[in-house]
């Protein structure tokens, strides 16, 4: 996907797809709204391994929710754990919906950024955790590497980047419907390495329906 025309189409088709998706939990999860609690509980257990006081632990000051949609992850995972959360998503309608969906806790949202991640530059040194879930497939390899580099600069001391996403069994599997790709785990690890980051911990999400892709969480520093 090196050619500029192809790249532009890749991004504009994805934007078009998400504009048609209803701003609901079921919409955010492609009709799999029922897995939301399993997903959140798995993420919470994963994240808690790193949060706290002491050597190498990550503070719970400020988190960034990437590809936040209506704020499902912010509401159930990040706002209960962090003092402040910022949301970034390419679809303005989702961010507008988030303002009501997040309810009272929405008062602790610092910023709502409407941007594709390929263009988004997070503020330097702002975040303890940058959470990137079910969205890396919407970035080309080079844009993913560049975005991860920008994320690294946006971390506070002992900060953490988490990617949680579908992984294919082998290679790169394109999805024409939502204009995304699904990469295998080794490809994701290689891109992380290209960004100058290391995978410090990794695990597979359990108890998801058998018919969907495996989902893995990777903690990066």
Which residue has tokens 């988004």? Answer: 120
Asked whether residue 67 is marked as a ligand-binding residue, the answer is: yes
Q: Where are the beta strands (DSSP E) in 6-59?
A: none
Taking alpha carbons only, the member of 140, 147, 146 closest to residue 64 is: 147
Per the document, the length of the chain is: 221
Rounded Cα distance between 114 and 120, Å, is: 9
Q: Is 72 among the annotated ligand-binding positions?
A: yes
DSSP 103-168: GGGGGGEEEEEE--TTT--PPTT-EEEEEEES-GGGS-HHHHHHHHHHHHHHEEEEEEEEEEEEEB
CA neighbor of 51 nearest in space, from 36, 42, 62, 40:
62
196: number of CA atoms within 13 Å, CB side? 8
Q: Which residues are annotated binding-site positions? A: 67, 72, 89-91, 117-118, 133
Q: Which residues are annotated binding-site positions for S-adenosyl-L-methionine? A: 67, 72, 89-91, 117-118, 133
């Amino acid at each position: 996907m090196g050619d500029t025309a192809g790249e532009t189409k890749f991004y504009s088709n994805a934007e078009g797809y998400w504009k048609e998706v209803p701003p609901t939990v079921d919409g955010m999860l492609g009709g799999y709204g029922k897995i939301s609690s399993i997903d959140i509980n798995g993420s919470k257990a994963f994240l808690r391994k790193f949060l706290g006081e002491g050597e190498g632990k990550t503070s719970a000051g400020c988190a960034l929710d990437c590809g936040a949609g209506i704020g499902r992850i912010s509401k159930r995972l990040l706002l209960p754990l962090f003092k402040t959360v910022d949301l970034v998503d390419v679809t303005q309608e989702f961010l507008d919906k988030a303002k009501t969906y997040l309810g009272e806790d929405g008062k602790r949202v610092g910023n709502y950024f409407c941007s594709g991640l390929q263009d988004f530059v997070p503020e330097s040194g702002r975040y303890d955790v940058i959470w990137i879930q079910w969205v890396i497939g919407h970035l080309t390899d080079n844009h993913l590497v560049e975005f991860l580099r920008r994320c690294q600069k946006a971390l506070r001391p002992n900060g953490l980047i988490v990617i949680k996403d579908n992984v294919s069994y082998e290679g790169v599997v394109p999805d024409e419907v939502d204009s995304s790709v699904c990469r295998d785990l080794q490809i994701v690890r290689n891109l992380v390495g290209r960004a100058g980051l290391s995978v410090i911990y990794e695990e597979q999400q359990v108890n998801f329906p058998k018919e969907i892709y495996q989902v893995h969480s990777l903690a990066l520093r």
